[in-house]
Structure 1
Amino acid sequence: MKNYYTTEKYLKRYLKTKLKRGDIFLKQLNYGFILDFEQFLRRSLNSKKQRSLGNNGVMKHLERFKKMVNLAVKLEWMKKNPFDRFQLRFNKFDRVYLTERELQLVEDIEFKQDRLQQVKDCFVFSCYTGLSYIDIKGLTSEKITRGIDNRNWIYTKREKTNELVRIPILPQAWEILERYKNGPMHNGLLPICSNQKVNVYLKEIASACGIYKNITFHVARHTFATTVMLSNGVPIETVSKLLGHTKLTTTQIYAKVVESKISEDIGNLLERFQAKEYKSAIEKKEKENGLRGGTIDPKSYHNLTAHGS
């Protein structure tokens, strides 16, 4: 709702400054209005006289505006949809995530300040569960249960999509829960402050670890998908279920950036090629020597091939 109110604020500002009006009728919305509003958003300046929105920020405002217009068309308040010929153009970026080495650096560092230590622990917990900030904030003991394997699991619904997720609690995450089990009382199982403060403190933590990436709390979720899961051979279908994605295509975004997994898969492919060549060479030597039934000892393969065929 906060984001929709922000879009509304920009719309009202556009109407006032460009059209010199406080409001217009829905039937006055047309393709030209959308193009002009887009340019207005692109040229908007903040208090420091700097551009306040990038391309994707502009597209998100137009996306919200489009949803409202689509609703108006469905309710038959409008006969034509001015967005029919308008295409939202988002710039694609690789998802930021921590590598195995960087994650280890964050895990190993200890802080004397409670605020940094607590944020670090919550961040690491997210790296090993894939839970978002809002889902960790709402995590309670009632959502921890025993699974079919007699291990501890998290059963919860994602705040964003209302999708049910079942996540086995890895030892690294369980250790953090145990650490705060008998600590001071707070709303959830973990002592997590506001999202804004968390992201400010994470920049301090990243700097202390020598990690030069733009770290936000959501990076932990990306790290869970890539470094913890996909890089260790967990099938993408399983990762999709653990993340609570409704579409597999959403999870595939993470799979594109796991270079180490690609390297490992290619290494396995090359090993299979070598095994086939080895088997083919053995069969060829057996045929040449009039042998049947695999009587050549694999250990003597190099002796046979050393003399040529």
Structure 2
Amino acid sequence: MSAVIANHQSGPLRGLSNLLYRRSTLYLLLLLTPPLIWFGVVYIGSLFALLWQSFYTFDDFTMAVTPDLTLANYGALFNPANYDIILRTLTMAIAVSLASAVLAFPIAYYMARFASPKEKAFFYIAVMLPMWASYIVKAYAWTVILAKGGIFYWMIQQLHLEGLLGSLLTVPGLGGNTLSTSHLGRFLVFTYIWLPFMILPIQASLERLPPSLLQASADLGARPRQTFIQVILPLAFPGVVAGSIFTFSLTLGDFIIPQLVGPSGLFIGTMVYVQQGSVGNIPLAAAFTLVPIVLIAIYLSIAKRLGAFDAL
């Protein structure tokens, strides 16, 4: 019996185990190789294949794509109509990120600093619960809520704010006659959909605030407003930036909400969908996919400088 155990302990598996134990780098390499191959071949490879097609030529007459390399697709991005699409999408992404931060901070602050364990559990469920529902169902539900005769208009009538709503809908750039056909309605839906992605990073950053800092600020004579502006907000700001990474990038690439809510103005996501699916102009659609990649890369570099990755 002891001979069997000795042979088992000195077998090939034991030798491999000892080798991996002595060379931790090799062990780590074996663990990372399968996911890195998947990530490199399937994700990065398909992305580069798509970007390579952005240099192909699309024949408007025959509706055919030929492998003749050209930069005309990238030049088309700066046409007034296409540039307007990029600017409209970027403006919406920034506006949604700012609004989400303003709405999320008080909720996250209460969750982190004042909520009891039971209240915190309730808030976690309340924040996460909308994310369990179907994304398309929520978008369709908002088209009903924002339509004339819907719940939102009923609340406006009960509060006698019809004049204010009418003045908002007539502001140049907001577009539409009702909220369901205006950029304002589209902005409301975007903010609702992505708000949980802003609340959780801010709440996590506020949880890591040492209570001793707040006590020290009070002991030094700072008022609550001064403590908030000079202590809490700077330390929680990386969490705000971390949340804005989600709201900014998700708004930038979304194509469902711009189709269901708001006027007919295209966004980058809908432009890619239309060009690739309906028109068949894959090279131009591929060129448009480079725009959010570049914008998000710039945004991530700024977020890294602001310490957002430390709050994730």
Question: TM-score normalized by structure 2?
Answer: 0.18
* Higher normalized contact order (CA 8 Å, seq sep 6+, divided by chain length): 2
Bigger share in helix:
2
